[in-house]
Structure 1
């Protein structure tokens, strides 16, 4: 951590130098220890490779990873079959040990938006991920300045095969207690547990924070957290607003994934998320994988982990759609900003005739309605089915009309919208995440 804190005062030139050094080391290691990368990188010389040369390398997808897993990993003791067996043993309760071979945390991604993934974290990889995750908090809120009782409530995945309950139970404050609350806990029960625990800090999925702030504003959740952190899902502006109203705090957002850890972290200046450019190279690309800095053209990102050694990821495709910042953060750190993450490109609904509808079209009418606590949108051939958890009387007809008009402006005329009021929305069993936008399966 001291070394990571020092990096927050690095110049842009120091960050670039570290990226160059780490990229060459990463390529050399992958080429020497991964049979799959040995073939893929056969035409390059790691010792003279520069970041600009990344564009000459092919894109790596999750499908590539899962189809070639045993040949990609650099520890020959690891096999996909054995790691899947370890995951299954944890899920059925026959194994309660986090660590596989005493060395790895094997994590499953839910596959709720496509291909299921399996990714192992080694000790050193975990340490890098944890340091990147919490270094801004340590800088902005030194433990020596804190007094009184401190309790961190970690409201994350419901199973230990996901990385979130493990990672976010780490604290840089040695005086803090930590308590884990599985995200799929029914809301009335979760509210009761939090009221009893009285956490001073919350770390939770963004969608859960939306529900919790609604419960607080309704007078059910009676807590006063001093720090609130969101992760794993797009953070809606209305959730930020609700946190200010309910608790008088600004949410600190995080952007990352199991595969490479945190790509962006928001500091206490709240001017965007600092990219972890010393640990991850992030390329913004359009639909044709061409580099672009135009926020309107960014369709996905390609990431290269500069510390991942167990399963090297080089130009790995993520469908997240970030909005790059255009200025430096007032906190002084030279790490570039991302102003927001708009969601995932595979959340876009594509209708007959090639009509593309971005989730933002739905978010505005739904997210700005004060009577809506949560919602989920499922694409239908001519419109959408929307499940809504309401906090009070809801004018369904007016909401439906607003959505039809918004979709017409987006190019989908006469959309068929069905809205059902539901008591709760189902979360993914393993991850506890809520998939908010569900497109039709691709034919």
Structure 2
């Protein structure tokens, strides 16, 4: 552990023993995982891959025997995990799992295991946010949740967070307890550290709270750490002064664009840390603590494949579709699941960790810009692009660009006052300069950006049908 890592106090569960602490069973298992993760992150890439193949073999043997959906879908046996070339060839022959297949199989419970091995605990049900309009049911085991907690704590340790500080969270809340003005408050940062580590207060607010009330609540809470969606954090940084004690901002749920990262850091002067995860698959990649432009795939918990159109793995610098296989969820295995995202593969990280690298997370593939003459491209905004939009819309707090037709864009902006004719014209000119003169551009002023049921907002949405 680095010398600048904040002290972490383990809570003892043994009567009469205060220090060094002796945790109870689940806490001891979590500490055992953390101890291993502290070492495996520094393994050479091939050693990590070989260990991952062993776990994949165990996962597939269980899925083939216990999950009806996989009974005839998976090979009868996989090559020896130590034979990398043969194993990988057999692995790539397994069909890609789609969202449609999960929804169809789930209706008949065919995706669920008939039995779990001893010690894996109960089944736990969650639903994805349905950002595509098609939510997916996911079922996990208690062992999977234990592993999830270990990666939560790894992220805290990597980014040297003081667990005794105050964590503020603005995100989805399904119980109404996090409603303005007070929100919700509890001692401890959640079940991933509860009962094991001493941690400070967690305060939370529902993501549907209007932006001006979010800013007022944030100033009142004055947290050490703030976790929310990038679009919410960008809006807060644009309109609210930095909370006095704020040390770090943590982004979840949406794609963090480089321009948004730059704007938040410039406004508040604190580091911005990004987390790449999904509800059904858990943690996919965590931002490197030493090189913020790199995200390390969490290979001890999930296999992440980034593939070209021909199905071959992408090389560093190439962009492809993302497939995921959680390694430890034997309740509802997801084998080579296409989550609909695209990402760019990176080279080995100078930090020395052997975990694979993603350099850019581009988000949902269906939200690429469709070009009138055919083809697609990613509608990414640079910090210079964002500065141009801010110049066109004084006081800009949020924005979204919607491609409504092959040759039509709508720019939606959240600003303190309705736009003047000059500002509308400047915004339309900015969009045509950025995306192409062939687009017809309309501009709409909004009080707030529309969000999904899970509180997500996207900075670019393509509404053009696939067959257009």
User: What TM-score comes out, normalization by structure 1 length?
Assistant: 0.82
Per-residue deviation at 1:75? Answer: 4.2
Q: What displacement does 1:313 show?
A: 0.8
Whether 1:209 aligns to 2:237 is no
Against the structure 1 CA distance between its residues 237 and 202, is the aligned structure 2 distance closer, same or farther, given a 3 Å change threshold? same
More helix by percentage: 1
Change in Cα spacing, 1:400 to 1:7, as seen in structure 2 (3 Å) is same
Q: Is 1:365 matched up with 2:385?
A: yes
Tell me how far apart the structure 1 counterparts of residues 304 and 386 of structure 2 sit (CA, whole Å): 31
Residue equivalent to 2:314:
292
Please, what is the CA RMSD of the aligned residues?
3.0
Query: Which runs of structure 2 are paired with 1:17-416 in the superposition (5 Å)?
Result: 17-45=50-78, 50-69=87-106, 70-75=109-114, 103-141=122-160, 143=162, 150-159=165-174, 169-170=190-191, 172=193, 174-216=198-240, 219=241, 222-269=243-290, 270-293=292-315, 295-296=317-318, 298-330=319-351, 332-360=352-380, 365-366=385-386, 369-370=389-390, 371=394, 372-381=396-405, 382-390=407-415, 395-408=423-436, 413-416=437-440
Structure 2 residue runs without a partner (length 5+)? 1-33, 177-183
**C-alpha spacing 1:238/1:377, structure 2 compared with 1 (3 Å):** same
Deviation at 1:12, TM superposition (A): 2.4
Name the count of aligned residue pairs: 402
Distance 1:379 1:243, change over 3 A: closer
Whether contact under 8 Å (2:45, 2:356) holds in the other structure is: no
2-structure distance, mates of 1:415, 1:42: 49
Offset at residue 397 of structure 1 (A): 1.6
Partner of 1:436: 459
CA distance in 2, matches of 1:46, 1:367: 54
1:386-426 deviations in Å (ceiling 9; x for gaps): 21013677833222112213322xxxx52110111211112
Partner SS, residue 455 of structure 2: coil
* 3-state DSSP of counterpart to 1:421: strand
Structure 1: gaps spanning 5 or more residues: 78-101
Distance 1:65 1:241, change over 3 A: same
Structure 1 contact 329–337 (Cα < 8 Å) conserved: no
- Counterpart secondary structure, 1:341: strand
